[in-house]
Amino acid sequence: MKAIVLVGGFGTRLRPLTLSAPKQLLPIGGVTMLERVVAKLGAAGVEEVVLSLGYQPDMFRSEFADARCAGVDLVYAVEPEPLDTAGAIAFAADAAGVSERVLAVNGDVLSDLDIADLLAHHDRFGAAATIALTPVEDPSRYGVVPLDDDGRVRAFIEKPEPGTAPSNWINAGIYVLEPSVIQSIPRGRKVSIERETFPALVGAGTLYAVQSDAYWIDAGTPAAFLQVHLDLLDGRRGTVESGVDRTARVDADAKISRSFIGSGAVVAAGAEVIDSVVMAGVRIAHGARIERSIIGARALIGDGCEVTELSVVGYDQDVDAGTILRAERLPGPDNW
Ligand code: GDD
Ligand code: MG
């Protein structure tokens, strides 16, 4: 089976990290987000993944120079301009010659959803397309999907106004699509699968969905990106991943708690890192305190800095000694 993985977005909500690398090439505990997504598809029997690329495609080509990722063959489909989700799927299918039933996946979703179950459900109902659903507390930043009793989708409401969603079951960003659906997508312009393709299938009565409360997270915001790491450290996804890379150098008088410390990072005496992500090659000087924050690769955090409350420091940033960052991004929006 083949899968199309959407990885062409700009990753705006994860800036400044995504100024240096596309969202799906950001490391999650030392393994890129994309490798984690593709490994899951591989485990479900997918043998070829078509990467639907737009933003910074060359970075994907050099990261996976042999066109293999997590044991799966990669095909690159680079859009000339962003075509939005359905436009991107159609472009990728045409570029890679996919004419059979296919899985399509948002490239920033990490989950333990059962793909075999999704496929079985799709077959059972003879659906044109089947969407995996997951429950969330606040559905307003997702696609909301109310169902009939028989599992048929009653409506697809992308990003409803807060408080108006008819259900807290949302589109998990994992679909089975029949060739007829891909053929129906108009070519050569932006088409949103959430706002155009799925609502049309609702009208035809051929869109189905399957609910699952397996682990699921869209890692596309700083809060969620941090949460993915904490979930791995806490063992919420089965095995507990170790937080401190073997090649990191942490002084005996530094305190690290519930955090990922990337390869080659250096943490000096008296520094504290709590509930945070510190990427490869970062240097944290004496007495600095990092809490609930993300430090991009190779950044330098000076003596006595405080970086807290979901602050995000970009790749290669030099943060002067004594700087206090609370709920801030460095560089900030003025420099994006
Ligand atoms: N190739 C390509 N071209 N990829 C794109 C484009 C495009 O024009 N636009 C977005 N993408 C990719 C992103 O890189 C990401 O992997 C995926 O498509 C989804 O885009 P996001 O920007 O992350 O969307 P979202 O998180 O706001 O909402 C989507 O995901 C939710 C679940 O995580 C929607 O599908 C919602 O309905 C869904 O609930
Ligand atoms: Mg997303």
> In the chain, which ranges are continuous DSSP H helix?
17-20, 33-43, 57-63, 84-96, 115-125, 179-184, 198-204, 222-234
What residues does the ion ligand 2 have nearby, CB within 5 Å?
A: 108, 218, 220
Two tokens, residue 205 = 């009565």
Closest CA to 306 of 288, 318, 319, 320: 288
User: Using a 6 Å cutoff on CB, does residue 173 contact ligand 1?
Assistant: yes
pLDDT (0 to 100) of residue 269? 98
pLDDT (0 to 100) of residue 237? 84
Closest CA to 6 of 97, 110, 77, 94: 77
pLDDT (0 to 100) of residue 64? 96
* 107 CA: nearest ligand 1 atom: 16
Mutation pick for ligand 1 pocket among 4, 6, 75 (CB with most ligand atoms within 8 Å):
6
**DSSP string of 199-249?**
HHHHHHT-EEEEE--S-EEE--SHHHHHHHHHHHHHTTTSSPPPSB-TT-E
Burial 75-99 (b: 16+ CB within 10 A, else e): bbbbbeeebbbbbbbbbbbebbebe
Cα distance between residue 244 and residue 227, in whole Å: 17
Closest CA to 159 of 218, 203, 212: 218
Mutation pick for ligand 1 pocket among 15, 108, 167 (CB with most ligand atoms within 8 Å):
108
Q: Name residues of the chain where pLDDT drops below 70.
A: none
Count helices and strands (H / E) in the chain.
Answer: 8, 29
pLDDT (0 to 100) of residue 39? 97
Residue whose CA lies nearest to ligand 1 atom number 11: 9
- The Cα diameter of the chain in Å comes to 64
User: Using a 6 Å cutoff on CB, does residue 79 contact ligand 1?
Assistant: yes
User: Using a 6 Å cutoff on CB, does residue 106 contact ligand 1?
Assistant: yes
Three-state DSSP at 141 gives helix
φ, ψ of residue 82 in degrees (nearest 5): -60, 125
User: Using a 6 Å cutoff on CB, does residue 194 contact ligand 1?
Assistant: yes
Residue whose CA lies nearest to ligand 1 atom number 2: 8
User: Are 50 and 5 a contacting pair, CB within 8 Å?
Assistant: yes
The pairing of strands 129-135 and 169-177 is antiparallel
Three-state DSSP at 134 gives strand
Three-state DSSP at 325 gives strand
- For the chain, give every residue range classified as CATH 3.90.550.10: 2-220
Ranges assigned E (strand) in 288-328 = 289-291, 294-295, 300-301, 306-308, 312-313, 318-319, 324-326
Mutation pick for ligand 1 pocket among 106, 109, 142 (CB with most ligand atoms within 8 Å):
106
Q: Which residues partner with 76 through β-bridges?
A: 51
φ, ψ of residue 194 in degrees (nearest 5): -75, -35
Identify which ligand lies nearest to the alpha carbon of 189: 1
pLDDT tens-place string over residues 203-234: 999 999 999 999 999 999 999 999 999 999 99
Cα distance between residue 31 and residue 287, in whole Å: 29
pLDDT (0 to 100) of residue 239? 78
Residue corresponding to tokens 């489909």:
77
User: Using a 6 Å cutoff on CB, does residue 111 contact ligand 1?
Assistant: no
Superfamily of domain 242-335: Hexapeptide repeat proteins (2.160.10.10)
- For the chain, give every residue range classified as CATH 2.160.10.10: 242-335
Name the CATH topology of 2-220: Spore Coat Polysaccharide Biosynthesis Protein SpsA; Chain A (3.90.550)
Mean pLDDT of the chain: 96
User: Using a 6 Å cutoff on CB, does residue 35 contact ligand 1?
Assistant: no
User: Using a 6 Å cutoff on CB, does residue 197 contact ligand 1?
Assistant: no
Q: How far is the CA of 10 from the centre of ligand 1 (A)?
A: 10
Q: CB burial class (10 A; 0-12, 13-18, 19+) of residue 174?
A: buried
